[in-house]
Chain A
Amino acid sequence: MNKKLWYVLMAVLVIGSTLLAACGAAPAEEAPAAPAEGEIATDAEVTGKVGIVLPTKDEPRWVQDEARFQEALEAAGYDVEILFSQGDSAKERANVEDLITKGIQVLIITPQDGAAAAAAAEAAHDAGVKVISYDRLVLGTEAVDYYVTFDSVAVGEAQAQYLVDKAEGEGNPLYLYAGAASDNNAFLFFEGAWNVLQPKIADGTFVIENSSEAEAVADKAELTRDEMAAVIGQITTNWDFNTAKSLAEANLTATTAEQKGDVFILAPNDGTARAIADAFAADGDVTSYVVTGQDAEKASIQYIIDGKQSMTVLKDVRTLVADAISAAVAFLEGNTPPETQTYNNGVFDVPAKPSAVVTVDKSNVQEAVIDSGYWPAEDFTGVEEAAAPEASETTEATEVEVFSWWTGGGEAAGLDAMIEVFNKEYPNVDFINAAVAGGAGTNARAVLATRLQAGDPPDSWQGHAGQELIGTYVAGGQIEALNDLYDAEGWLDVMPETLIPLISDENGNIYSVPVNIHRANVMWYNPAILEANGVAIPTTMDEWFAAMDTLQAAGITPLALGEQWTQLHLFETVLLSSLGSEGYDGLWDGSTDWASPEVTTALNNFAKVLTYANSDAASLSWQDAAQLVVNGDAAFNVMGDWAAGYYLELGLTANEDYGWTPVPGTDGVFQFLSDSFTLAVGAPHPEGAEAWLKVAGSKAGQEAFNPVKGSICARTDCDPELFGEYLQSAMQDWSTDTVSGSLTHGVVANDSWKSEIDTALGLFLIDQNVEGFQSSLVAACASSGPCQ
């Protein structure tokens, strides 16, 4: 009988204990943010006017420059007016005077004729306008404040350096070619090349095979103009590839087989380089050749991909535009642009900082020319093969398991885009996508916590940059420092300085690779409702309350709110608004007292904001709440900028169906969150994980991911052209605003602290007791924050 009792007891306890295995699926909270596009009202003040005079509309180069100047200066908040001289110096003068009367403060001018433009420059200078000479130098006047140009000498140096880097041993045959002897630039290019080559000729690394004039001066480090003219006269191509080809063929006929073999060729530009390369390739005694070039012409890029030309020097005009703009902005702000070099214009030395040129060869052609958007990939064949062999040499066939909560909408599409980049670069690493759905990552994190405790970590997983990472995984010793990877990839130069401390411990070890940035403190509004009720967009807490009073009196729900986590999101923005970014940041490092009267004020503000919200908040997801605004059921909604992606998905028009502004009182502060990827301690496939992290941190990876996901790049060098207007403005704000972190999305508090604050908020939502709320917050900081 007793035995029976025991069996039954056991059976019952089996049932009873199933409660230990509570399970279920939470409804999706923070859902996919899709590609966001739209327009943003620039909030920067217009503080200056820039006039630009370009030579002619007939050359596409200048038309492109016009568009680039226009866009960049307007985005930066300046007035800009651009006029064309149409090849006429008189018109140029008239344009400049026209601009002066319109009150410009800075003139950017590309003279049609350097000497003729002097008078126009002087007129501007006399009117107190700063004159920037762009790409061509204004000659014979002191009325030039700055010169923006590529350094022709540096181009020659880059070409020669490439030859030197490729040469091994002694006695390498060297063939020299130059541009037209009538062109001053040809002299500058040759001067640069000679600076680098001469010591290597003197020490026997190279032997000049095709120029007796050059051999005669081979021991002179600096050549006079006449000596150079003699050399160039002997090796000139006249910038003409027929001339180049026949000269090369003549040289090859004149030299013996011993003077060929593995040869090195200095060719001045791409057109001549291809002609010369063809001639050398056709010669049976030439076993291999290294040939330089310049200008990154399309045909030469294809030659480089095909291995027929070795290198070219890219002078990206966009760099020149950017440098001209930063010089203009420096003048407008009362500063002086940087000076590293001067150029004599016949009267005085004009200060300048020559724009950087880029050496392009097969190893970086993808990145420098195609990924940067200089030429589109579809113009070339065999691009992938050019880059792929290098990558696969470094990685063994392996796999990588990457864990995330990106399973739907724009997030999943973005991840897929990044995986595509990964598969291209690492075709022999098998990518295993271990994404777990549900609950804005809370389900995934529960799975992850279990796997970590079981000692079965994924190779790399997603974590929010900030305390979620440092206070949880780093504190738990679960992830590896990545400083070596940062050094090797040069990420410290391209990742924002404000971000690095958030993913580092106190010893400066960096623990993750951030892929994107989202903004939390955005308020979305219904422009039609505001207009109909004569409500201006509020910029302070008080204005916001007044606006919401007006709307409430008119029978409109002022604020759309969703379930509890969206209320926590609202809470953090109100804290930021009430305390300011410094006070808010202090909450998380212990320098702002949670018990202080300022925090009490913030909590009262929050309590007051809640009184304007819809009564059914608890039953709405964030999408539901965001939708109330565009449906005209509510005026405002506070949500992160993934809402822009959601609105786009709904097919809505920016600034018509919805508008946005920083949460009142937080203008100039960018409250951010960032997704990043880690390397597990004891990762089963460390090489695969490293390959994945390299892609996640790369320009190509981030440019593939972010426009689709609807966020901006964590890197600062992504091409804004790829993004919609909302995101472009977010990129602008990110680079200028003060940066604070988000609580709800894991930046400022570790998981334990955040969950305690969430509980305190939940209790407050039930009892509306501000005093009790504050004491719970104080207790939370003491139990899990820095207030011990």
Chain B
Amino acid sequence: MLKNKDRYLSVILISPSIIAVLIFIYGFIGWSARVSLSNWKGLNPDYSWAGLKNYIALFSDPRFHIDVRNTLIFTGVFVVGSMVLGFLTAVMLDQGLKGEGIFRSIFLFPMAISYIVTGVIWRWLMNPAAGTRMSGLNLLFSSLHLDFLVNKWYTTPTWGMAAIAMTAIWQMSGYTMALYLAGLRAIPHELREAAQIDGASEIQIYRHIILPLLTPVSLSALIILGHTSLKVFDLIIAVSGKQLPLDVPAIYMWQTTFDGLFYGRGAAISILLLISVAVLIIPYIRYTLKEEAKQ
């Protein structure tokens, strides 16, 4: 237990940030929640009570269905892709090859770029034009006689979102790699040696020793990637602008609020986004804290 004096001091030191957080985070979350329950449409605030009308309308809104589907596709491809790719590159780097530092840097570099830049570069690389106007990756594939790889990328119906997820994988797999590499380095060598002495194959070692020990790392990666993907916005805007086939909740929220002045609906979308992120994150926090408590 802290001494009383120290306690007061800590409260005083921390209070400005607590107050700021209370106002600017929770205050506005509360305000958004209130707006989401109102009929506000147009430039002037209208807080008249609408109940859950905005939410109910969203659940039967075909555009919102597309948003949810797109988010699921994006999240699935992005999270799985980043984790698999990140893990594999981490394992390779962990073999102690020469120039590891250079490779590590190369894999990490994309993370230093903003999503907007990534989006603009990939918009060009994934140019879906065919025939004489072909360019970017399609032109590369075509000139390498890999024509089966030529495709419409992000303009593919239904699965176009996966192409966008690919660009996100390009950007974030290096980060996942770094997480896994740190995890791998933290595993005591003795454990591997013991397993080898017991006659386990490399695959068995990874399957039964290393992967279980990496569970906390995997969980962290999952949470970080998962919540990024739920709120993805800038990457999509940079690649394709505001077009429905690649719509996600964040873009719908922006468009309906600022272009269409449906403030109530926009607020409802933002609250749903908050809830979905919270559903993902809160159990993880509880779990982490419990683990720490055990130790």
B253 to A: closest C-beta gap in Å: 7
B21 to A755, Cβ gap below 8 A? no
A619 contacts B240, C-beta separation under 8 Å: yes
* Residue from A16, A618, A762 within 8 A of B155 (CB atoms): A618
Are A12 and B242 touching (Cβ within 8 A)?
no
Select which of A20, A23, A453, A765 is within 8 A of B245 by beta carbon: A765
Q: Which residues of A contact B241 (CB under 8 A)?
A: 26-27, 29, 563-564
A24 touches B (CB below 8 Å): yes
Out of A12, A616, A759, which one reaches B129, CB within 8 Å? A616
Q: Does A595 sit at the interface, judged by CB under 8 A?
A: no
Query: Chain B residues with Cβ under 8 A from A18's Cβ?
Result: 231
Residue from B18, B259, B277, B293 in contact with A755 in the complex, judged by beta carbons closer than 8 Å: B259
**Chain B 231-253 against A: per-residue CB contact (8 Å), 1 yes, 0 no?**
10110011011111101001001
B8 is an interface residue with CB less than 8 A from chain A = no
Q: Are A446 and B244 in contact (CB under 8 A)?
A: no
B72 lies within 8 A of chain A by Cβ? no
Let me know if A284 is at the binding interface, CB within 8 A.
no
In the bound complex, what is the Cα–Cα distance between A452 and B123 (angstroms)? 35
CB-defined contacts of B128 to chain A, threshold 8 Å: 615-616, 618-619
Contact status B116-A19, CB under 8 Å: no
Contacting pair B63 A762 (CB below 8 A) = yes
Chain A residues closer than 8 Å to B32, beta-carbon distance: 20
List which B147-189 residues lie within 8 A (CB) of chain A.
Answer: 152, 154-155, 157
Whether B285 pairs with A618 at a CB distance below 8 angstroms is no
Which A residues, 646 to 688, have Cβ-Cβ distances below 8 Å to chain B?
A: none
- Chain A residue nearest to B237 (CB atoms) is A24
Interface string of B200-240 (1 = CB under 8 A from A): 00000000000000000000000000010011011001101
Residues of B within 8 A of A755 (CB): 255-256, 259-262
Partner of B29, one of A8, A17, A27, A473: A17
Instruction: Indicate whether A633 reaches chain B with its CB closer than 8 angstroms.
Output: yes
Is there contact, CB below 8 Å, between B289 and A5? yes
Stretch at the interface among B40-48, B73-81, B92-100: B40-48
Instruction: Specify which of A24, A446, A754 lies most central, judged by the most chain B CB atoms within 10 Å of its CB.
Output: A24
- State the Cβ distance, A250 to closest chain B Cβ, in Å: 74
Q: Are A445 and B132 in contact (CB under 8 A)?
A: no
Interface residues of B in 264-288 (CB under 8 A from A): 270, 273-274, 277-278, 281-282, 285, 288
A445 to B255, CA, bound (A): 11
B84 at the interface (CB under 8 A from A): no
Within 8 A of A (CB), among B1-59: 18, 21, 25-26, 28-29, 32, 41-45
* Residue of chain B at shortest CB distance from A628: B133
How many inter-chain contacts with C-beta < 8 Å in the A-B complex?
Answer: 158
The verdict on A751 contacting B66 (CB below 8 Å), with A5-B289, A20-B32, A619-B240 known, is no
Interface size on A, residues (CB 8 A): 53
- Contacting residue for B244 out of A9, A17, A477, A763, CB 8 A: A763
Q: Is B62 an interface residue, CB under 8 A from the partner? A: yes
Knowing A755-B256, A762-B244, the reply to whether A8 touches B289 (Cβ < 8 A) is yes
Q: CB distance B234 to A752 under 8 Å?
A: no
Which of chain B's residues has its CB closest to A756's CB? B260
* Across-interface contacts of B127 in A (CB, < 8 A): 616, 619
* B66 and chain A: residue at smallest CB distance: A766
* Pair B244/A759 contact, Cβ less than 8 Å: yes
The distance from the CB of B290 to the nearest CB of chain A, in whole angstroms, is 10
Contact B25 A13 (CB under 8 A): yes
Question: Are B231 and A445 neighbours in the complex by a CB distance under 8 Å?
Answer: no
Q: B259 touching A751 by the CB < 8 A rule?
A: yes
Least CB distance from A442 to B in Å reads: 6
Partner of B43, one of A27, A449, A565: A449
- Establish whether residues B242 and A564, one from each chain, have CB atoms under 8 Å apart when the complex forms: yes
- Quick one: which of A13, A453, A565, A615 has the most chain B CB within 10 A? A13
Is A216 in the interface zone, CB < 8 Å from B? Answer: no
Q: Which residues of B contact A1 (CB under 8 A)?
A: 293
**Do residues A442 and B243 form an inter-chain contact, with CB atoms below 8 A?**
no
Interface residues of B (CB under 8 A from A): 18, 21, 25-26, 28-29, 32, 41-45, 62-63, 66, 115-116, 123, 127-130, 132-133, 152, 154-155, 157, 227, 230-231, 233-234, 237-238, 240-245, 247, 250, 253-256, 258-262, 270, 273-274, 277-278, 281-282, 285, 288-289, 293
11 contacts between A and B (CB under 8 A): A16-B277, A29-B241, A442-B259, A452-B43, A615-B128, A615-B152, A616-B152, A618-B128, A633-B132, A751-B259, A752-B41
Beyond the given A19-B250, A445-B258, A616-B130, please list 7 additional residue pairs across the A-B interface where CB-CB is below 8 A.
A13-B26, A20-B274, A24-B116, A565-B242, A615-B152, A616-B127, A763-B63
Q: Which residues of A contact B (CB under 8 A)?
A: 1, 4-5, 8-10, 12-20, 22-27, 29, 442, 445-446, 449, 452-453, 472-473, 475-478, 563-565, 615-616, 618-619, 633, 751-752, 754-756, 758-759, 762-763, 765-766
